[in-house]
Amino acid sequence: MSRLQQELEAGRFVVTGEVGPPKGIDTHELDHELEHLKGRVVAINVTDIQSAVMRLGSLVVSEYLVRKGFEPVFQLTCRDRNRLALQTELISAAWVGIENVLCLTGDHQVLGDHKGAKGVFDLDSVSLLQTVNLLNSGKDLAGNGLQGAPKLFPGAVVAPGLEPMEPQVLKFEKKVAAGARFFQTQALYDPRQLEAFMRKVEHLKVPVLAGIVLLKNVGMARFMNANVAGVFVPDHLIKEMADCPRKRLKQKSAEIGGRLVKEMKGMCQGIHLMPLGWTDIVPDVLGHAGLA
């Protein structure tokens, strides 16, 4: 059983982090990012060709984390693989010691750097969750028995900030029914959105980790508001970033992140921090939140 599963099932508040594999084979920057997360988060998500931009594979980087003593959350998207490849990835992950898997449909390939790539989408996030649980039971999607079953801890994502909220609640319920054991949310900057969503799903009693993307500058905040569905950075946070001198942006980002964590931590069972390369300020974020 993974530490993430142990902590969540014990009802303890957890913090997870995130790293993105490099676009190439040089992992020096990745190693630098990991050092700032060491001992500060329970587990670390490894993104899977995030935003449809070709990168080093999530599976091999997750295995790298295991070898270095970190606990990964292996992200797996349906965009690039059929059901054969997805099942192979899952049992391969289990075989090399990966226990947590986050099941995602995946961003459409037209958003990425290979516009002509063909999406697969043989499964979606719900059927991928069902696949994980079927493999855990010792069978594959064709009903064949396995020579040794994995013991994966499956999670899913939800976007509480999308309006209307009802479809997101229905998706949440479907993913729980399909076997999701924990959730990480899309980026949130308004605690009221999380509070309203949690009231709708609290009866399902599945741990939810509120996602926070650390803001780097005012341009980033405005870009997300204009281009990322379900993400809304309030005007007062945009003003804070706009009024902040360039040399203090990292400090301001840590202050805002810590404040958001402090405001949200009583509403959910954890926080998922997405630093986008700024893992060096994660200790300060946790310090501002009272979680150092």
Give the C-alpha separation, 261 to 277, whole Å: 19
Give the C-alpha separation, 62 to 66, whole Å: 6
**Residue 179, Ramachandran bin (φ over 0: left; ψ between -120 and 50: alpha; else beta):** left
Give the C-alpha separation, 272 to 214, whole Å: 11
Number of domains in the chain: 1
Q: What is the CATH number of the domain that holds 233?
A: 3.20.20.220
Find, among 100, 28, 27, the residue nearest to 59 by Cα. Answer: 100
- Determine contact, residues 285/224, Cβ cutoff 8 Å: no
Domain coverage including residue 42: 3-278
Count, residues in the chain? 292
Please check whether residue 169 lies inside any domain of the structure.
yes
pLDDT at 71 over 80: yes
In this prediction, residue 107 has a pLDDT band, given cuts at 50, 70 and 90, of confident
pLDDT tens digit string along 148-166?
Answer: 999 999 999 999 999 999 9
Please check whether residue 218 lies inside any domain of the structure.
yes
Of 31-35, 106-110, 230-234, 240-244, the one with minimum mean pLDDT is 106-110
Please check whether residue 287 lies inside any domain of the structure.
no
Please check whether residue 113 lies inside any domain of the structure.
yes
pLDDT tens digit string along 48-57?
Answer: 999 999 999 9
Give the C-alpha separation, 47 to 164, whole Å: 27
Please check whether residue 266 lies inside any domain of the structure.
yes
